[in-house]
Amino acid sequence: MLESKEETVQLNGALKSRHMQMIALGGTIGVGLFMGSSATIKWTGPSVLLAYAFSGLILYIVMRALGEMLYISPTTGSFANLATTYLHPRWGYLAAWSTVFEYFLVGISEVIAVEAYLAFWWPDFPNWLIGIIIIGILCLANLISVKVYGEIEMWFALIKVVTIIVMIMLGFLMIFLGVGNHGIPLGLGNLWQHGGFFTGGIKGFVFSLSIVIAAYQGIELIGITAGEAEDPQKNIVKAIRSIVSRILIFYIGAIFVIVTIYPWNQIGEIGSPFVATFAKFGITVAAGIINFVVLTAALSGCNSGIFSASRMLYTLGLQGDLPKFMTKLSRYKVPYMPVITMGLGILVGFILNHFTADYLGKESNLFVIVFGSSVLPGMIPWFIILFSQLKFRQAHEKEWRNHPFKLPLYPFSNYFALLSLFFILICMFFNPETRISIGVGLTFVSVTLVSYEIISKKR
């Protein structure tokens, strides 16, 4: 039975550190990595490794800034609540809606991906029915309890992590020992041959940063889980300390193997580098294995999207920006109306995509553009976290004296991350392949801020 709760009732604190880490991994390690990151490699060649490392430094600063705030104030909605309290309610409003918008689009795209992957085994099964079933199952998992969601997401993410680790290990055996290559080590020659390390020059390297930084988006899901964590202070610190290093190892390790084994200018011709790497070792069912892994990656992305966006809708309800029924909790202390709303939204978007495809005979280009526009909304939580931390420190000077999880080199590290993110956004205007996306993203931000002003005046 579903029952109404007041704002003072807390959500269920059932998430452990392992759940939080895997939720963040699941939200960050997506389908793009498994398909080879071909766009960024095309722009900058092997130097894409430096792009991932540079973006990883920004990632580290953002997460440490979030961690030191959540240690003192662990709440559901995390950065949206922090922005409301320490910046202005409009920025909390923007942060919440940006997360909803981003994961709404991610959810639709991941369900579309799921039906494509399942068609690998069941080509005659109705695609639309697959999508409806998947959305229903994931919504049910989110409705039952946060612990069920955490367990499902943990296993989804674990499958991806194990695959990446195995791929990196096999790659190193081939590169340095020649295993899978007739005993002849490949060496590191592909990193500087075929046009050099910076094949696209500084311009290509800078352009790649916008896509690389987007690959890391989703790690802030740790913050959204804070209000439902068991022993939040201990588990937040533990999760953030380990998650950043693991993500950097997985991303940089996998990309290193790809650009070392294959010449950068041939990667677009071999299909999925993961499939090709497993096939080199005589694993004949490589395509099936990777298809299964990417399937779980898509399910994981949609699962994380429903969870994170529903918690932001719940936060907007608590702040009075959405109707009060958005704050109702089930007997499992799950905000059921936001979960149902997100599920229905993703379902409608999924059906509209099929409707468009049927009438146009292809996937809608508009949908692709709108999905790309989620890059900017995906960066907004990072901006919010960094700006909030500057104000948060001023308001909690006494707590900082014995704080065990401070952001190193504050405030210079904070300013460095902010300037870097602004620089990346500016560069997106000069790249023809990202100009439309940043334009649509800015339009979304403008409309959201205008809607906030309208709601504020009505109050």
- Classify residue 1 by burial, with Cβ atoms within 10 Å: 0-12, 13-18, 19+: exposed
Q: Which of 457, 441, 446, 456 is nearest to 101 (CA)?
A: 441
The overall average pLDDT reported for the chain is: 78
3-state SS, residue 2? strand
Q: Output the pTM of the full model.
A: 0.81
Going by pLDDT thresholds of 50, 70 and 90, the confidence category of residue 107 is: confident
What is the extent of the structural domain holding 260?
14-452
Structure confidence by residue, pLDDT tens digits, 303-312: 877 888 888 8
Which of 4-8, 37-41, 82-86, 237-241 shows the highest mean pLDDT? 82-86
The answer to whether residue 319 sits within a structural domain is: yes
Looking at the predicted structure, is the pLDDT value of residue 363 above 50? Answer: no
The answer to whether residue 299 sits within a structural domain is: yes
3-state SS, residue 330? strand
Q: Cis check for the bond before 411: say yes or no (omega within 30 of 0).
A: yes
The answer to whether residue 290 sits within a structural domain is: yes
Structure confidence by residue, pLDDT tens digits, 368-410: 455 566 778 888 889 999 999 999 888 887 777 778 888 889 8
Distance CA 63, CA 198 (A): 29
**55 contact partners, CB below 8 Å, separation of at least 6:** 209, 212, 213, 215, 216
Q: Which of 47-56, 82-91, 108-117, 427-436 has the lowest mean pLDDT?
A: 108-117
The answer to whether residue 223 sits within a structural domain is: yes
Given a contact cutoff of 8 angstroms between Cβ atoms, the answer to whether 27 and 308 are in contact is yes
Total number of domains constituting the chain: 1
CATH number for position 90: 1.20.1740.10
The answer to whether residue 298 sits within a structural domain is: yes
The answer to whether residue 458 sits within a structural domain is: no
Place of tokens 């050099």: 196
The answer to whether residue 6 sits within a structural domain is: no
The answer to whether residue 7 sits within a structural domain is: no
